[in-house]
């Protein structure tokens, strides 16, 4: 994604950051990540409350593909499928939770900055 061109490179950690953010930056992945303990499909769907069946399937497939969750199918009727975090998936929770803590701490400041910014925009229009 980030090609090195004409000599100037971004800090090396950008490569990874970009890929990881593409993975967890989507609308639902983090929520799945934070829903811990092995869970069945509809259990997750209920817990996440708002996700569509389609998006939950897609999100879980993506996480499974990246080795962040395991998918265990029991050949029973009715079918039962369990999803659980892998070791790798669990380890990702640490930095993600750090981000969550930052969000809790600073979201009010962000909201405030937004209002101030939008207000300035309005005034310029009026002037």
Partner DNA sequence: CGGTATCCAGGAAGATACTG
Partner DNA sequence: CAGTATCTTCCTGGATACCG
- Residues that bind DNA in the complex, under the rule CB under 7 A: 26-28, 40-43, 50-55, 57-58, 60-61, 71, 73, 78-81
Cα gap 83→64, rounded to integer Å = 9
Segment 14 to 33, residues that bind its own copies, using CB under 8 A: 14-21, 23-27, 30-31
**74, 91, 119, 122: residue in contact with its own copies (rule CB under 8 A):** 91
Question: Which residues lie across from 69 on neighbouring strands?
Answer: 85
Work out how close the CB of 39 gets to its own copies at its nearest, in angstroms, rounded to a whole number.
Answer: 10
Q: By CB under 8 A, what part of segment 41-70 binds its own copies?
A: 46-50, 64-68
Burial of 39 (0-12, 13-18, 19+ CB in 10 A): buried
Bridge partners of 9, per DSSP, are: none
């Amino acid at each position: 994604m980030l090609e090195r061109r004409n000599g100037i490179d971004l800090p090396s950690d950008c490569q990874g950051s970009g890929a990881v953010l593409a993975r967890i930056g989507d609308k639902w992945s983090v929520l799945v990540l934070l829903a811990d303990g092995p869970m069945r499909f509809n259990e997750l769907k209920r817990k996440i409350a708002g996700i569509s069946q389609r998006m939950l399937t897609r999100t879980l497939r993506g996480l499974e593909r990246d080795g962040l969750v395991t998918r265990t199918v029991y050949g029973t009727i009715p079918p039962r499928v369990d999803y659980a975090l892998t070791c790798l998936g669990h380890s990702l929770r640490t930095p993600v939770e750090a981000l969550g803590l930052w969000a809790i701490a600073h979201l009010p400041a962000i909201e405030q900055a937004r209002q101030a910014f939008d207000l300035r925009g309005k005034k310029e229009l009026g002037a």
